[in-house]
Homo-oligomer: A and B are copies of this chain.
């Protein structure tokens, strides 16, 4: 079985750019044709299911990967969870690499349960986002199982939201920021031989927001073997230069993810068909990032 990082890099080469469309579906923003008045929770989950099926079909030819936001499905509890895993399977059948953005993390014994639930299924997600605040022993059950299953992980290092600065941006007595200290924990845990794929990347990657370009440069140096998952391009304000700082000179090393700007492209489009508007936006995202990396 190929390592997750090798699978992703091959898919990005194939599709032309290392991009990812985020599926963060919110009932109130679905195309009008999919909404009903006074829909109950079951009808909302059904509409979200239909919408995401259409999104996956629309983007599959244009991008190598998709990212599901677990919160949008967990909002509907068990029925939402069931739909999430059906969609993950569909995405994989369409040839997409699937990242589950669940930001899980706990002490080791509990992380091991999350790891089994979310990484052990061959038809489940290719990769998972995790929270590193509990340190390496909270991450190891994830990395150990990912190594066995050929899956990947992205630990939160520097998030794209404004409030992250109040913790991640603080400076330690040794000169590092808190985000850099977390980066060092990630780089250190991730460098085990069995975690490194053929193209030199570790199964343990990092989330680094596109809205923090100054930090991205330092984090790129500290984590040479980490693939960066880079949210914040587009709707959250990240620019081309912000994105460039997350890549290495060889133009690999990051996955640029855009969610709302692609997912709700029909809100700002003249195209009548929402699937076509989303497909066009996914193609544009791919082209934009390909151009940035030229």
A residues at B contact (CB < 8 Å): 24, 26, 69, 71-72, 74-82, 85, 101, 103-114, 116-118, 131-138, 156, 159-168, 170-173, 178, 181-182, 185
Contact of A103 among B104, B112, B118, B170 (CB under 8 A): B104
Contact of A24 among B78, B85, B110 (CB under 8 A): B110
* CB-based contact A135/B111 at 8 Å: no
* CB-based contact A114/B178 at 8 Å: no
Q: CB-CB < 8 A to A164: which residues of B?
A: 133-135, 138
Given contacts A75-B113, A75-B116, A101-B110, 17 further A-B contacts (CB under 8 A): A26-B113, A72-B113, A77-B117, A101-B106, A107-B159, A107-B160, A131-B131, A134-B164, A134-B167, A135-B162, A135-B163, A135-B164, A135-B165, A135-B166, A136-B166, A171-B173, A172-B178
- Chain B nearest Cβ from A90, distance in angstroms: 16
- Chain B nearest Cβ from A113, distance in angstroms: 4
Contact of A137 among B26, B105, B163 (CB under 8 A): B163
Q: CB-CB < 8 A to A170: which residues of B?
A: 172, 178, 181
Quickly give the copy total for this chain.
2
Q: Which 3 A-B pairs have the closest CB atoms?
A: A135-B163, A137-B163, A71-B113
The answer for the CA separation of A161 and B106 in the assembled complex, in Å, is 9
Known: A168-B133, A172-B172. A78 touches B72 (CB 8 A): no
- Chain B nearest Cβ from A64, distance in angstroms: 23
Q: CB-CB < 8 A to A107: which residues of B?
A: 159-161
The answer for the CA separation of A98 and B103 in the assembled complex, in Å, is 23
* CB-based contact A106/B167 at 8 Å: no
* CB-based contact B72/A81 at 8 Å: no
Contact of A117 among B24, B69, B76, B106 (CB under 8 A): B76
* CB-based contact A113/B163 at 8 Å: no
The answer for the CA separation of A93 and B101 in the assembled complex, in Å, is 34
- Chain B nearest Cβ from A144, distance in angstroms: 14
Known: A161-B107, A167-B182, A178-B170. A134 touches B114 (CB 8 A): no
The answer for the CA separation of A167 and B137 in the assembled complex, in Å, is 12
* CB-based contact B136/A133 at 8 Å: no
Contact of A78 among B79, B135, B160, B185 (CB under 8 A): B79
* CB-based contact B105/A131 at 8 Å: yes
* CB-based contact A178/B167 at 8 Å: yes
